[in-house]
Structure 1
C-alpha cells in the first residue's frame, strides 16, 4: 500500500508542476480520448450481438462458434 501511495504522490507532484502549455496539451489529449472512445463508439460501433440475438445464451453460443471456427 505504501508503494501505491508513493507512485500516486509522484504523478500528482509531476502534474502540479506542469507548465501552462503542457496542461493545455493534456486537456486536448483527454478531450480527444473522450471523443474517440465515447462519441465514435455511439455512431460507428453498434452492439450487433444485442440487435441480432435476443438472449444471453444465443449471444454466448454465437461467440463460441466464432472463436472455434476461426
Structure 2
C-alpha cells in the first residue's frame, strides 16, 4: 500500500509542468521567510551574551527552573 502511494506521488511529480515551478517558488519563499524570521526574531542569546560554557549552562538552568 505504501509503495502504491509513493508511486502515485512520484508519477504525479514526473508529469507536472507548471506545478514544478510553483513548488520551487513555494520552497524559495519558505526559505526566505524562515531565514528572515531566524535572523531578526530569534537571535542567538547564548552566543552573544556569554563567553564561557559555565555561564551558558547557568543561564539555561536558571530559565528552565524559573517558577
Q: Same fold (TM over 0.5)?
A: yes
Q: Return the match for 1:13 from 11, 14, 17.
A: 11
Separation in 1 of the partners of 2:27 and 2:46? 30
State the alpha-carbon separation in 1 of the partners of residues 43 and 62 from structure 2: 20
Size of the aligned set, in residue pairs, is: 63
After TM superposition, the structure 1 = structure 2 runs for residues 1-70 of structure 1, keeping only pairs within 5 Å, are 6=3, 9-20=7-18, 22-38=19-35, 40=36, 41-42=38-39, 44=40, 45-70=42-67
> How far apart are residue 10 of structure 1 and its match?
4.6
5+ unaligned residues in a row in structure 1: which ranges?
none
User: So what's the TM-score if we normalise by structure 2?
Assistant: 0.67
Structure 2 residue runs without a partner (length 5+) = none
